[in-house]
Structure 1
């Protein structure tokens, strides 16, 4: 998929990977419709971009079905066409076992990560099918193929995104729409803060972390390079690549080692107060 001269919709564009994806798409010559729940965050992205009319901003809760259905029309008004959809928006769950999660937390993770991605894909697919070349890229996660204790529902939502995307790939083989599923490992995006949850020591965000993390700008570069090469699976970070092998070669041992490591981090975490 040639990015230069194309029009992309990017969700979660107000911060983290979504912001970096937006900025790098613009640098590669694309036009971008940046979508996020936070208007202030989108304004910051626009200020950093300085891209004028090549960037439009759209405040949207991707779990709002009516809002999602109205978005394609707004993007067409701003840019005249849509060539690519990058479903990046996502949240993690509180770092607790399934038995301790309440229904609201479970619904929120599934609604944002899976249902939001599905509804946006359905909303834009008719427009993408009309283009001579188009692309759908959905951000799953290393957690979508490798289980992490305390993030089971998050992992389930991202596993659903992975299989949804692979199914779309199969269904669209005879069309001009290419499809990629992106599986990042640990990326410095402050996702715990943006999800409104707290994580154990060494998990989630880079500050104070002992886990090697891929920077947001490098992660976005890997993603866009993979999209331009029409890759089905795009792994982001050495950890994602290694885990993809480990879960196939020695799944029980790999899961056991990760659980022990996470238990150790939780034991060394300071006890929350207030």
Structure 2
């Protein structure tokens, strides 16, 4: 679905990939409903959009509150007149600790935001998207959604749930006007640790590792391009493309590579 003249909802739009998604969509001629828990961050996104900020509506929303999410489509339509697509980008990680040491409140929060927040958005917007001539759902999973990352097992489980949900939606909607894409970002340079209130328990990435990370604008470009091409799955980054190939050949080897990488 080409995004020119379309209205796209972006969650997690207050920073990182989400903010860059908003800016990328605006540059391609779309209007955007920007959703985030942080109002100040949303205002910064609008400010970054400059003159194109007039095509952005902002919506302060906690994705874990189902009734609030269910009210969002009508708010978007009241402002923009329609809604053509959603990009479920919002997500948090967990502290870098084993499942045995992770408390249930944190487990629930990660699942509520990453999986249930995505599910609430899909179920709330789908009836409206099905009324459009063309429409699109893009859900952001993670490299950790198909390759296990020690210390991020619950995060990975939440993103694996997003993966299967999205692939199931694709099959259910394959003969309709609503196209569906699942995105697997690899390493991206964002503030997800800070935004997730996670303390760094591993060594910071060295300069060579940082150089290998995708920037948020690069990731946003790949995601929007995948949306416009109605891709089934989008692998954002050289690292995730390599691990995807290894995982297909030997899941155990892929898991071992990740585990050993984290020890270094």
TM-score past 0.5 threshold: yes
Cα distance between partner residues in 1 of 2:136 and 2:251: 33
Residue number in structure 2 paired with 1:82: 83
Cα distance between partner residues in 1 of 2:208 and 2:155: 20
What TM-score do the two structures reach when normalised by structure 2? 0.96
Aligned partners of 2:147 and 2:254 also within 8 Å = no
Cα distance between partner residues in 1 of 2:232 and 2:40: 34
Aligned partners of 2:111 and 2:155 also within 8 Å = yes
Distance 1:61-1:171 versus aligned 2 partners, 3 A rule: same
Cα distance between partner residues in 1 of 2:178 and 2:65: 25
- Give ranges in structure 1 of 5+ residues lacking alignment: 265-274
Aligned partners of 1:63 and 1:115 also within 8 Å = yes
Cα distance between partner residues in 1 of 2:69 and 2:231: 27
Residue number in structure 1 paired with 2:227: 227
How many Å apart are 1:227 and its aligned residue? 0.8
Distance 1:192-1:208 versus aligned 2 partners, 3 A rule: farther
Residue number in structure 1 paired with 2:141: 140
Listed as ranges, the matches of 1:169-188 within 5 Å are: 169-188=170-189
How many Å apart are 1:263 and its aligned residue? 2.2
Aligned partners of 1:84 and 1:128 also within 8 Å = yes
What TM-score do the two structures reach when normalised by structure 1? 0.93
Residue number in structure 1 paired with 2:150: 149
The alignment status of 1:201 with 2:197, answered yes or no, reads no
Residue number in structure 1 paired with 2:34: 34
- Give ranges in structure 2 of 5+ residues lacking alignment: none
Residue number in structure 2 paired with 1:56: 57
Listed as ranges, the matches of 1:107-146 within 5 Å are: 107-146=108-147
Residue number in structure 2 paired with 1:253: 253
More deviation, 141-150/207-216: 207-216
The alignment status of 1:210 with 2:194, answered yes or no, reads no
How many Å apart are 1:252 and its aligned residue? 2.1
Name the count of aligned residue pairs.
Answer: 261
Cα distance between partner residues in 2 of 1:259 and 1:55: 42
Cα distance between partner residues in 2 of 1:254 and 1:66: 40
Distance 1:52-1:218 versus aligned 2 partners, 3 A rule: closer
How many Å apart are 1:208 and its aligned residue? 5.9
How many Å apart are 1:254 and its aligned residue? 2.5
Residue number in structure 2 paired with 1:65: 66
Cα distance between partner residues in 2 of 1:42 and 1:193: 17
